[in-house]
Amino acid sequence: MTVHVRAPGKINIALRVGSTQPDGYHPLATVFQAVSLYEDVAAEPADDIALTVTGRSAAQVPTDETNLAWRAATLLAEATGTSDGVHLHITKGVPTAGGMAGGSADAAAALLACDLLWGTGLAREELGELAAELGADVPFALTGQTAVGLGRGHLLTPALARGRFTWVLALSETGLSTPEVFGVWDAQNPDPVAAPDVDPDLMHALVVGDPRALGAHLVNDLQPAALQLRPQLQEILDVVASTPALAGLVSGSGPTVAALAAGPADAAAIADALVAADVASEVLTVTGPALGARLVEPVRADVE
């Protein structure tokens, strides 16, 4: 039996940051949106835990116990006391090193796939608790859609969002280090707010499904820090500003830049401009919100 689970990558359409807490982390008020780039995880019975990876930039992904999906399987086995093993095969579709939480999607998919394969039958809430232990972005990959994240981003509240938004993503070859970006943010913000909040106007734009209003309220407090560390991102933002894009911003701690399009025709114009300017390593057009981790029909090699 093979259990096949798909989980989405994400962008941050709002990210507010507060002052460092005693645990070294910054409290966040963020709005995640899952987008139509997916990680596929196939789980098969095995004596031990094993992991293989194919797909987008697979060569950059570790296949040992440091992989977050491997850790997810180990954590679930420990939490449930099962002695079963699993062979996880990941097919990557989310860009690596872009801050789009592809590794977190792998972990969320692995949790759900192993729970189904092993028959450990955890409730979604219990899977969510294990997900939060693995990383701040893992719970969102389980729930998907659009959600507000507080704390480290792991305390999720689903957001009402009508309709579908079209985003053009400008990718960069090399990632940005999250701690470095927060470090620069600290230097840039000597007197930060203690508890950041999400803009009610942005939430309203989501409820009514109005891309123009949403574009007016996209925000990322980490963008100036990302730009300081990677000035080339400003070139991408400048190209986006010369197109019909409703807004453009660095997503999360970067380096992916997301441009909001009014619809598919504008998205094509934005993508063409980015490709012509040669400012990004790759340009992708996606839609959001996308579903969270879910079981997909088994692909059976013996049935055509």
Q: Does 279 bind ligand C5P (CB under 6 A)?
A: no
Report yes or no: 138 and 132 within 8 Å, Cβ to Cβ.
Answer: yes
> Between 153 and 292, whose beta carbon lies closer to ligand C5P?
153
Report yes or no: 68 and 103 within 8 Å, Cβ to Cβ.
Answer: yes
Report yes or no: 2 and 292 within 8 Å, Cβ to Cβ.
Answer: no
Tokens of 223: 């963008």
> Between 252 and 292, whose beta carbon lies closer to ligand C5P?
252
> Binding residue for ligand C5P (CB under 6 A) from 14, 86, 97, 136?
136
Interface segment toward ligand C5P; rule CB under 6 A; list 96-104, 174-182, 188-196, 198-206: 174-182
Give the residue from 259, 303, 247 showing the smallest Cα distance to 285. Answer: 259
> Binding residue for ligand C5P (CB under 6 A) from 179, 190, 200, 231?
179
Backbone angles phi, psi at 164, to 5 degrees: -130, 140
Q: Does 25 bind ligand C5P (CB under 6 A)?
A: yes
Among 10, 92, 106, 266, the active-site one is: 10
Tokens of 177: 């280090």
Q: Assess whether 10 carries a catalytic annotation.
A: yes
Q: Assess whether 64 carries a catalytic annotation.
A: no
Report yes or no: 41 and 110 within 8 Å, Cβ to Cβ.
Answer: yes
Closest distance of CB 138 from ligand C5P, Å: 10
> Between 219 and 269, whose beta carbon lies closer to ligand C5P?
219
Residue 283: strand, helix, or coil:
strand
Q: Does 152 bind ligand C5P (CB under 6 A)?
A: yes
Interface segment toward ligand C5P; rule CB under 6 A; list 25-33, 80-88, 210-218, 273-281: 25-33
Closest distance of CB 195 from ligand C5P, Å: 13
Give the residue from 245, 238, 256, 118 showing the smallest Cα distance to 174. Answer: 256
Report yes or no: 67 and 51 within 8 Å, Cβ to Cβ.
Answer: yes
Which residues in 182-211 contact ligand C5P (CB under 6 A)?
182
Interface segment toward ligand C5P; rule CB under 6 A; list 23-31, 95-103, 255-263, 291-299: 23-31
Interface segment toward ligand C5P; rule CB under 6 A; list 20-28, 125-133, 163-171, 284-292: 20-28
274-301 as b/e: b if 16+ CB within 10 A? beebebbeebbbbbbbbebbeeeeeeee
Give the residue from 234, 295, 252, 243 showing the smallest Cα distance to 274. Answer: 243
The amino acid sitting at 180 is: E
Residue ranges in contact with ligand C5P by CB under 6 A: 24-26, 28, 135-136, 152, 178-179, 182
